[in-house]
């Protein structure tokens, strides 16, 4: 079926360490680092937002794919921090990467899983031959209320995937995808509110764990695969701990999930998180290897994918900007006051 023709990511250079935030609120940094399995998180610059991150990721995806952006027929940007309340981010991206105007586009919002929902929409459109290529982006500059536990994790970043049905162009094929969705009030933000609210402990068991587990088990049933059939597994990563716990319960070993687990060093990039995790795995995956991806969005739902890597992946590596190149180069560490200033820029929106 449909597959990935190219991908690209972007993560801002700014970082703030757990110690720096903990100092302000008199928290014990060691217990937070251990409890959340996170050491630092990315912070957007004052001139970066979900649209600029989406554009940088999208441009890298077009370069990597080798396609003409003019042939992209659908563009979806998933985010919970779209810069405008009314005025699509997707049209800004389409102008900046020069797709044509023969294009269907929309902004998606489903907490942290809007990016993978976009991949599913593009897959349907290319498989039904309505379009040649679709682009799905997950991009966020997420916000945590000062002194809330989320402040240690809410970060910024994004990933863009170009989906096409021509197998000769695919670097990886989507073998199957399925979703599990239910009305669950674990996390929300009302219109006009600057920060999200959440149900505390309620965000774990009935939300993250239930939806990821059910979607992944559904995928196992539909494909006949089991955990050991996959070389890599990527799960949504609101912190560094949850994906480790859920993967163990599903029968995965740590070596399968370590390469796609980025939250310990960049934080939770929300809509970008599953996309970045998948990109990090594709950066190193070899032909014929299998990848499991299960996202999660509060509210709540999970999209699960079985992906098989194709020979083309090696051929296209020359034009690839790897996740590790972006997240490990020229990081700029900032203190809490600079963080507040940058975040003020975000909050203004």
Partner 1 sequence: MEKASASAWRKFNARYNMIGNVCKTCNTKYFPPRIVCKNCGRNTKMEEYQFSGKGEIFSFTKIHVPSEAFKESAPYVIGVIKLEEGPMIEGHIVDSGKEPQIGAKVKQVFRRMYTDGEEGLITYHFKFELI
Q: What's the Rg (C-alpha) of the chain?
A: 18
**Interface stretch with partner 1, choices 159-167, 231-239, 271-279, 328-336 (CB under 8 A):** 328-336
Site for partner 1 contains 59 (CB under 8 A): yes
Residues recorded for the chain: 349
Sheet holding 40-43, edge to edge: 40-43, 14-17, 332-333
Distances (CA, A) of 245 to 83, 232, 235: 34, 16, 10
The span from the CA of 146 to the CA of 142, in Å, is: 13
In the bound state with partner 1, the residue whose beta carbon lies nearer, of 157 and 277, is: 157
* DSSP β-bridge partners for residue 75: 105, 135
In the annotation, is 80 catalytic?
A: yes
Among 35, 45, 124, 185, binds partner 1 (CB under 8 A): 45
In the bound state with partner 1, the residue whose beta carbon lies nearer, of 48 and 308, is: 48
Give residues 11-40 in contact with partner 1 (rule: CB under 8 A).
13
Name the minimum Å distance from CB 251 to partner 1: 41
Name the minimum Å distance from CB 345 to partner 1: 6
Name the minimum Å distance from CB 346 to partner 1: 10
In the bound state with partner 1, the residue whose beta carbon lies nearer, of 25 and 84, is: 84
In the bound state with partner 1, the residue whose beta carbon lies nearer, of 52 and 116, is: 52
Q: What angle do CA 255, 248, 37 make, to 5 degrees?
A: 75
**6: exposed, middle or buried (C-beta count within 10 Å: 0-12, 13-18, 19+)?**
buried
Distances (CA, A) of 3 to 115, 228, 289: 15, 22, 14
Q: What angle do CA 40, 328, 135 make, to 5 degrees?
A: 95
DSSP state of 202: G
Site for partner 1 contains 62 (CB under 8 A): no
The span from the CA of 280 to the CA of 318, in Å, is: 16
Among 42, 52, 178, 203, binds partner 1 (CB under 8 A): 52
The H or E element spanning position 77 is: strand 72-78
In the annotation, is 112 catalytic?
A: yes
Nearest to 281 by CA among 331, 322, 330: 322
Site for partner 1 contains 98 (CB under 8 A): yes
In the bound state with partner 1, the residue whose beta carbon lies nearer, of 49 and 151, is: 49
**Interface stretch with partner 1, choices 94-102, 163-171, 180-188, 264-272 (CB under 8 A):** 94-102
Site for partner 1 contains 56 (CB under 8 A): yes
From 40, 56, 80, 169, active-site residue? 80
Q: Annotate 262-273 with DSSP letters as a single string.
A: -HHHH-B-GGGH
Site for partner 1 contains 322 (CB under 8 A): no
Name the minimum Å distance from CB 52 to partner 1: 5
Site for partner 1 contains 46 (CB under 8 A): yes
Among 95, 182, 288, 324, binds partner 1 (CB under 8 A): 95
In the annotation, is 236 catalytic?
A: yes
The span from the CA of 175 to the CA of 263, in Å, is: 27
Residue 216 tokens read as: 């992944």
DSSP state of 227: G
**Interface stretch with partner 1, choices 49-57, 129-137, 162-170, 271-279 (CB under 8 A):** 49-57
Active site residues: 80, 112, 236
Which residues sit at the interface with partner 1, rule CB under 8 A?
A: 13, 45-49, 51-52, 55-56, 59, 83-84, 92, 95-96, 98, 330-332, 341, 344-345, 348
């Amino acid at each position: 079926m449909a597959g990935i023709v190219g991908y690209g990511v972007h993560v801002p250079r700014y970082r703030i360490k757990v110690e720096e935030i903990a100092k302000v609120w008199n928290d014990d940094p060691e217990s937070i680092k251990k409890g959340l399995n996170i050491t630092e998180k990315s912070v957007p610059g004052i001139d970066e937002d979900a649209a600029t991150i989406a554009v940088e990721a999208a441009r890298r995806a077009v370069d990597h794919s080798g396609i003409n952006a003019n042939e992209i027929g659908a563009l979806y940007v998933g985010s919970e921090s779209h810069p405008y309340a009314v005025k699509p981010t997707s049209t800004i991206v389409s102008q900046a990467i020069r797709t044509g105007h023969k294009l269907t586009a929309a902004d998606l919002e489903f907490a942290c899983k809007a990016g993978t929902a976009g991949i599913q929409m593009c897959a349907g459109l290319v498989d039904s031959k309505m379009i040649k290529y679709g682009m799905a982006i997950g991009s966020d500059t997420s916000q945590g209320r000062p002194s809330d536990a989320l402040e240690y994790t809410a970060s910024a970043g994004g990933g863009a995937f170009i989906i096409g049905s021509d197998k000769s162009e695919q670097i990886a094929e989507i073998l199957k995808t399925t979703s599990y969705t239910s009305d669950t009030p674990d996390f929300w933000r009302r219109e006009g509110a600057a920060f999200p609210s959440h149900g505390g402990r309620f965000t774990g068991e009935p939300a993250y764990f239930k939806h990821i587990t059910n979607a992944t088990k559904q995928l196992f049933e539909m494909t006949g695969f089991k955990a050991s059939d996959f070389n890599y597994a990527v799960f949504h990563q609101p912190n560094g701990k949850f994906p480790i716990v859920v993967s163990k319960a599903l029968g995965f070993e740590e070596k399968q999930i370590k390469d796609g687990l980025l939250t310990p060093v960049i934080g939770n990039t929300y809509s970008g998180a599953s996309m970045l995790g998948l990109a990090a795995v594709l950066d190193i995956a070899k032909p014929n290897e299998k990848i499991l991806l299960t996202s999660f969005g509060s509210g709540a739902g999970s999209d699960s994918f079985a992906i098989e890597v194709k020979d083309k992946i090696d051929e296209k590596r020359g034009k690839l900007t790897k996740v590790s190149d972006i997240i490990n180069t020229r990081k700029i560490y900032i203190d809490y006051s600079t963080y507040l200033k940058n975040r003020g820029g975000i909050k203004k929106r």
